[in-house]
Copies of this chain bind each other. A is one copy, B any other.
């Protein structure tokens, strides 16, 4: 692969996952300023970009920590020198709890809990390892996935965590995953606010029991304005805003950001004048929310993906030939990024960096 600094985008070997650094910086800065103006902290979710380089940019712009989905992702961030890490899921098995103790010893890791049994396991492990582990009680605020029921159940867990040796109860978290992609803004706001009441209401309930709640963490890119402005929320777990994707920009309408993430592909064949075939199929671009968006050349549309090929249909554009380049925006950044080993980082169309997607595939 041609990866010399200064290489023009047009000669990068393809399929090449590309980051426009100007746009990435602008997206990161926009969210940082929005959070600042709302008076809420930022703990960007690294499950989207899976890159310590991007996490460090977010921290430099004012984020106070990162969020991870998996302990393997947290280890990647820790190895890159990041200390304030939230694993926003439950760590329930013996092997993983042992790894979590390692993180607790050398970073300020924090983990979500939603059962008394897990709190007991974590407490015993922390005591045995001589560490203090920070925990947030996860509250199910309507997604119906993980998390304890709001109110009484969550309070009982908060109390247990607060009283457990080896643990430090820091607060509560939720995730309004069922509202972040509601296309209609008013509907999204109403559904999100109904969720957040369950979260901040639970936090207040815990406080009224005499237990300090420092952190109330929630939010996704689609709800950052709602969740960030909600009284009592202390930090946002937004992930997709940095790289952006078609689902959030076009379908959810987050037009204050721009596409930093694109895929460069190459035409490998044409069928008459109306169809062209590229070298980028579903092993390069996921289709979780429909076909990715072809933005260059104009007058062509991506209308299909097989495993190793993209199918383009002419919509009035000039003829394509084998070897021609095309640019596609992923529909879903999180899953598309997770297919690739590195970002080709570009400024003004020239390669300025090749960043490993270091947490790619860290499902454990």
Contact = CB atoms under 8 A, between A and B. Distances in A.
Interface in A307-361: 307-309, 311, 322-323, 334-335, 338-341, 360-361
Contacts of A4: none
Given A13-B93, A308-B69, A322-B92, A363 B145 contact: no
A163 interface: no
Residue of A15, A117, A145 contacting most chain B CB atoms (<10 Å): A145
A269 B146 contact: yes
A146 B277 contact: yes
A47 interface: yes
Which of A69, A269, A361 lies at the interface centre, i.e. has the most chain B CB atoms within 10 A of its CB?
A: A269
A155 to B, nearest CB: 18
A338 to B, nearest CB: 5
B1 A364 contact: yes
Given A95-B2, A146-B309, A115 B322 contact: yes
A14 interface: yes
Contact of A177 (B1, B267, B282, B306): B306
B335 A269 contact: no
B118 A283 contact: no
Of A16, A89, A268, chain B has the most CB atoms within 10 Å of the CB of A268
B361 A268 contact: no
Copies in the assembly, this chain:
2
Interface in A243-287: 266-269, 271, 275, 277, 279-280, 282-284
Contacts of A290: none
Interface residues of A, number: 56
A143 to B, nearest CB: 9
A87 to B, nearest CB: 11
Interface in A115-146: 115, 117-118, 140, 144-146
A166 to B, nearest CB: 19
A195 interface: no
Contacts of A306: 145, 177
A338 B268 contact: no
Contact of A322 (B118, B267, B275, B340): B118
A190 interface: no
A90 interface: yes
B145 A309 contact: yes
Contacts of A49: none
Given A146-B268, A268-B89, A268-B90, A307 B335 contact: yes
A110 to B, nearest CB: 17
A266 B279 CA distance: 36
Given A93-B323, A145-B311, A283-B338, 6 more contacts: A2-B95, A47-B308, A92-B266, A145-B306, A280-B363, A283-B335
26 contacts: A1-B95, A1-B364, A2-B95, A11-B95, A13-B93, A13-B95, A14-B93, A16-B364, A69-B307, A70-B308, A92-B268, A93-B266, A145-B269, A145-B306, A146-B277, A177-B306, A283-B334, A283-B338, A283-B363, A284-B363, A307-B335, A308-B363, A339-B361, A339-B363, A340-B363, A341-B361
Interface of A: 1-2, 11, 13-16, 47, 69-70, 89-90, 92-93, 95-96, 114-115, 117-118, 140, 144-147, 177, 266-269, 271, 275, 277, 279-280, 282-284, 288, 306-309, 311, 322-323, 334-335, 338-341, 360-361, 363-364
